[in-house]
A = this chain, B = another copy of it.
Amino acid sequence: MRVLLNGCPLSDLTITDRALHYGDGLFETLLVRAGRPCQWSRHLARLAHGCARLGLPLPPAAQLESELATLLDGVEEGVLKLVLTRGSGGRGYRPPARPEPRRILLLYPRPAAPDWRRGVAVRYCRTPVSVNPALAGLKHLNRLDAVLARREWDDGAIAEGLMQTPDGAICGGTMSNLFLWDGTRLYTPALDQAGITGTVRELVRELAAEAGIGCEVRRLNGDDLERARACFLTNAVIGVWPVARLEARSVDLDDQPWDLLHAVRAAAHTPG
């Protein structure tokens, strides 16, 4: 694994960093193809939005891009994780008035994936997703809910688990956004109370709009999912996963909006 900490090849972080103590920071996970991160500008925009919401100074884009180029030198593909912490300092929860964020870049191998077109099996998780409108949508470092949810199953045949708020709103998967398809329209969970606004989620909405397909963002629950003709999951690394099985129910893959899925996957996996 390659690592850069503030541009230097260090693999240790000072123990006073607030990411360790409070999860005080943000992250981005990007797919690297042909030596370049895919959808970089979307990830950068989301990071900037997260910084504004948390009160973190955003590092200059040129600095991040220069460090990315260093990290990816000679690399063909992989999974890149960018972590931005609030740095050290402040007493207790109170952050320093002028934080000095730390930039951490980590490069992992791209995980092996079966043919995405065959779809995946999905389960429901018992662990609820954490609800907080002040944090909802952000890709912040407080992810214990997803850790506990992902810990619920050990069956390699199950690719993802769906998480719900304590009052039963489905928020998405532990690591992915969810879309339902009723044959003419898409539906995706509102993320104003919980969850992460994925970059590929945004891409789906844009490409659907271009194709004249409506996409409604609203509260969704288990009944909505049961009634859907098809559903699929998205994130930056997988691109798109059609759901072939939901708990005990087989979902006919023929009912997927395949043209859209192919377009989303191609865009999500385009470097640069």
Please give, as numbers and ranges, the residues of chain B lying within 8 Å of A18 by CB-CB distance.
Answer: 147
A143 and B15 in contact, given A27-B21, A130-B131, A166-B131 (Cβ under 8 angstroms): no
The quantity of this chain's copies bound in the complex is 2
Indicate whether A3 sits within 8 Å of B15 (C-beta atoms), given known contacts A130-B131, A132-B128.
Answer: yes
Across the interface, name the chain B residue whose C-beta is closest to A193: B166
Interface residues contributed by chain A, number (CB under 8 Å): 60
Task: Let me know if B21 and A22 touch, CB within 8 A.
Answer: no
The answer to whether B133 and A166 touch across the interface, beta carbons within 8 angstroms, is yes
List residues 122-140 of chain A with CB under 8 A from any CB of chain B. 126-135, 140
Q: How near does chain B come to A47, taking the closest CB pair, in angstroms? A: 16
Q: Which 9 A-B pairs have the closest CB atoms?
A: A23-B23, A12-B12, A142-B142, A93-B150, A22-B143, A130-B132, A131-B131, A93-B146, A94-B150
Judged by a CB distance under 8 angstroms, whether A91 is at the interface is yes
Asked if A92 is an interface residue, CB under 8 A from chain B, the answer is: yes
**Residues in A lying within 8 Å of B, measured CB to CB:** 1, 3, 5, 10-24, 27, 54-55, 83, 85-86, 91-95, 97, 104, 106, 111, 126-135, 140-151, 154, 166, 174-175, 193
Cα-based distance from A193 to B130 in the complex (angstroms): 10
The distance in angstroms between the C-alpha atoms of A12 and B14, with both chains bound, is: 4
Q: Which interface residue of A12, A15, A24, A127 has the most chain B CB atoms within 10 A?
A: A15
The answer on a CB contact under 8 Å between B134 and A145 is yes
Task: Please report the C-alpha to C-alpha distance between residue A263 and residue B150 in the assembled complex, in whole angstroms.
Answer: 44
Q: A144 to B133, Cβ gap below 8 A?
A: no
Known: A130-B135, A134-B148. 18 other contacts (CB 8 A): A12-B12, A12-B13, A12-B14, A18-B147, A20-B85, A22-B142, A22-B143, A23-B141, A93-B143, A130-B131, A131-B166, A132-B145, A133-B166, A134-B145, A135-B144, A135-B148, A142-B144, A166-B193
